[in-house]
Chains A and B, each alone.
Chain A
Amino acid sequence: GENVEQHPSTLSVQEGDSAVIKCTYSDSASNYFPWYKQELGKGPQLIIDIRSNVGEKKDQRIAVTLNKTAKHFSLHITETQPEDSAVYFCAANRAGSYQLTFGKGTKLSVIP
């Protein structure tokens, strides 16, 4: 089945700096890659997603890139703010299975 690996597991950045989180996936048939942000006591919140027919997608300070050949995708957060502190999860679909496989998460801390 699908395997998704996520790095790093923890990341600390100064406010205003950029943060990058990387994921690799195993199933070459995967075609949908969402990213979620989870704050304490809440469920994961979808922040951005990308499909396999697109190489990059941006939404204000957040961007995601996808390299299908290498089977990896990355989340980029620019001009980080303290409210960006949370656990971030990447995920990939298992084509035709109606399920997402998640990475183990990255705890991002933005230091004021």
Chain B
Amino acid sequence: KAGVTQTPRYLIKTRGQQVTLSCSPISGHRSVSWYQQTPGQGLQFLFEYFSETQRNKGNFPGRFSGRQFSNSRSEMNVSTLELGDSALYLCASSFAGDNSPLHFGNGTRLTVT
């Protein structure tokens, strides 16, 4: 079974631009979550989607948004990029969320200059 696939692996953007990251979950998984990983803050929850509905959102500004498609694939968007948005963005999928084992992709490394 293929794992969680995230594209692209690396991105370099300029402050003020916007970026879209993509995630394909494990086949059969309907829940997709996004996390931001930085050396200072560790792993922080961004949002979770199930059947195209956002069920929960973390404590991030409105510049961070996401969506899920009918095939469970998900995208997240960050608008008006700031230097502090530089991080590893991790997508994870699970069968149903909430207590279902969460499986992570290898992430998208975003660098904002």
Contact = CB atoms under 8 A, between A and B. Distances in A.
Instruction: Report the contact-size class of chain B (Cβ under 8 Å from the partner).
Output: 20 to 34
Contacts, number: 55
Nearest to B54: A98
A41 B88 CA distance: 10
A49 B101 contact: yes
Contacts of B102: 34, 46, 100
Interface stretch (B60-68, B79-87, B104-112): B104-112
A98 B106 contact: no
B104 A44 contact: yes
A68 interface: no
B45 A100 contact: yes
Interface string A34-55: 1010000111111001010000
A25 interface: no
A89 interface: yes
A43 B45 contact: no
In the complex, which of the residues B33, B90, B106 has the most CB atoms of chain A within 10 Å of its own CB atom? B106
Interface of B: 4, 31, 33, 42-45, 48, 50, 55-56, 58, 90, 92, 97-99, 101-107
